[in-house]
Chains A and B, each alone.
Chain A
């Protein structure tokens, strides 16, 4: 077995080197994929060396939560390993373990904490191998159902997985997602719920709370500060604490709360967390700001933002955030791809409220341009037309690079880029080529 393990690690490390040298990605999946073929027990073998393991699953917010939690942990002096590029299948975890391990033993001795974000379906196979001390379930929405089956059946499978977990694990649940609350009874260990005052999530919408059960921790007195972020309070046993989260929208409060409760469980102090929040930058493509375009352009603009959209709930939340923000001189570039990682079914765009963008109060009278791009640009253009945009204001360009160029030409305000997952990777690549951004795997 030892020989297989060494071979697997050697092959993995080699692939990692090759992909990095050839710049064909950061080696976030391929090393693990091939190493696992040689040594299938690689993940449980290597991961067991790390004293604390936290896993995060859910439809939306995994990457942001993991990134925030890692930021809190490193700020308090812990050494963290994680699958930082959103590669959340077993091969992604294997790749991270391989790249940090030492040959020939596969040693990972200097790490204090592992934070793994897990794909909703892969969760069930990987959790038993990782034996985590903390499990976080963020939410469950319709996302790429063509791959996973129905929402109800995902929750059922999670329930089965949790039933087999030892009671010394702690389960943190988003208590505002009523589908997740049913998981309480599946687990024999301690369960802790968090949420936002006066909100609950049902299906694909936020509803005002009516007779909701008491949650263990709630964000109180929420104030939205536009794109700059959101302010709220947490009532703890030692008093009321103020938090300023540099990410916009109610939905990011849930990501924060998940990171916060897990960090608290690890013994990280509130003061450290509050301080760390000031220097937190969002995950790639999640409300990311960048400068645009390079110097020498005729008009001065106010830069660009990338906000990932990938399912009805997430997209609607992004539209909610932008709704009050859009000014007449701003532009939108929306890119819809239908590759496997995006979901080959693009029908979800009809469940997302694109109407919110059109009803944006400040954008009402502008000479408004909206660029539709990606492999399914024409489906998107149609959705925009039926959301109320004038057909002549919708510009269709499948090619991302060309669309980006058109969208920045003559831009005076801000450019909001709303891509699906693989379109986001494409945009990142283009921005890197143009020297406007670093490679995502070099971030952090």
Chain B
């Protein structure tokens, strides 16, 4: 078995340890004998449907974000990513990446940056900086991370949040929602890095990849998650 991770704009969109998510996906697949290739896909690069089994898109600074928004549209990658998500390819996007996959991002000054329209959300720059440790309740688990954003994201009608904020700000600090989930694509504000400390969430992505790619249920073998669980529990008890 093999899995190809498409690391979107990793050279300009990597902040607050987002790279750790790639490391976590890679290691947890490799420990189970699944081969992993990380494909860096950045400005001006071409993307073909079917060449990536899972996308990752991290956060970035404002300047980089404007360049990336333009490239998503001009290179046609935004459209292909959207089509891939429609057929079930999993994606994890965080902060800036999440914002650019929504409908638009409205900065303080300057025109709206159009998004990929994948998530039914829009983001407006605010003067509040939402910083701190964050705990979010999904249907079957709690996940923990660190958020740091001033953009406020709002779900449109029919938009499904990733989870409910237990501690922290989440999408906008107002409606207790955090992130958005559409098919197997997830957008959220959780840095930290998110995946290493939430191994069950990491495995959810790997499981989805195998389901979609091989078209049958392949059971993931269990791993020794002693250190992961300790780090997760410490974080939950420290911030909860």
Contacts and interface: CB of A to CB of B under 8 A. Distances in A.
B63 interface: yes
A379 B17 CA distance: 12
Contact of A145 (B16, B197, B235): B16
Contacts of A376: 234
Given A347-B16, A348-B17, A381 B24 contact: no
Interface residues of B, number: 32
A184 B26 CA distance: 42
A349 interface: yes
A346 B146 CA distance: 9
Contact of B63 (A142, A152, A378): A152
B196 A152 contact: no
A145 B148 contact: yes
A347 B20 contact: yes
A386 B23 contact: yes
Interface in B8-33: 14-20, 23-24, 27
A392 to B, nearest CB: 10
Interface in A123-145: 142, 145
Contacts of B235: 378-379
B228 interface: yes
A88 B133 CA distance: 27
B224 interface: yes
A382 B20 CA distance: 11
A150 B62 contact: yes
A328 to B, nearest CB: 24
B62 A152 contact: yes
Contacts of B191: 345, 347
Interface string A212-243: 00000000000000000000000000000000
Contact of A345 (B129, B148, B227): B148
A385 B224 CA distance: 11
B131 interface: yes
Contact of B230 (A344, A350, A396): A396
Interface string B51-69: 0000000000111000000
Nearest to B230: A378
Contacts of A391: 224, 226-227
B17 A378 contact: no
Contact of A386 (B20, B226, B234): B20
A409 interface: no
A383 B20 CA distance: 9
B231 interface: yes
B192 interface: yes
B193 interface: yes
A29 B24 CA distance: 41
Contacts of B129: 149
A225 B20 CA distance: 32
Give the contact-size bracket for chain A. 20 to 34
Chain A interface SS verdict (over half): helix
Contacts, number: 75
B19 A381 contact: no
Given A152-B62, A382-B197, A386-B27, A347 B224 contact: no
Given A152-B62, A347-B146, A381 B230 contact: yes
A394 interface: yes
Given A151-B61, A152-B63, A350-B196, A382 B17 contact: no
Nearest to B145: A347
Contact of B193 (A145, A151, A344, A347): A347
B16 A348 contact: yes
Given A150-B61, A350-B193, A345 B231 contact: no
A145 B18 CA distance: 14
A209 to B, nearest CB: 18
B224 A378 contact: no
A146 interface: yes
Interface in A384-409: 385-386, 391, 394, 396
A345 B230 contact: no
A389 B224 CA distance: 14
Contacts of A346: 146
A378 B230 CA distance: 6
A269 interface: no
A142 B18 CA distance: 13
B234 to A, nearest CB: 4
A351 interface: yes
A382 B27 CA distance: 12
Contacts of B234: 376, 378-379
Contact of B227 (A149, A349, A382): A382
Interface in B165-200: 191-193, 196-197
Given A150-B61, A152-B63, A349 B231 contact: no
B61 A382 contact: no
A443 B217 CA distance: 65
Chain A CB within 10 Å — which of B14, B197, B234 has the most? B234
Nearest to B26: A386
Contacts of A378: 227, 230-231, 234-235
Given A351-B14, A379-B235, A146 B148 contact: yes
A350 B24 CA distance: 10
Contacts of A347: 16-17, 20, 146, 191-193
A350 B61 contact: no
A382 B19 CA distance: 14
A153 B203 CA distance: 37
Contact of B131 (A146, A152, A386, A394): A146
Q: Which 6 residue pairs are nearest across A and B when measured between Cβ atoms?
A: A350-B20, A350-B17, A347-B17, A378-B231, A347-B16, A350-B193
21 contacts: A142-B15, A145-B16, A145-B148, A146-B131, A149-B129, A150-B62, A151-B61, A152-B63, A344-B132, A344-B133, A345-B131, A345-B191, A347-B20, A347-B193, A350-B19, A350-B196, A351-B17, A382-B231, A383-B196, A386-B196, A394-B227
Interface of B: 14-20, 23-24, 27, 61-63, 129, 131-133, 146, 148, 191-193, 196-197, 224, 226-228, 230-231, 234-235
Given A351-B20, A385-B227, 9 more contacts: A347-B17, A349-B17, A350-B17, A351-B17, A378-B235, A379-B231, A379-B234, A382-B231, A386-B23
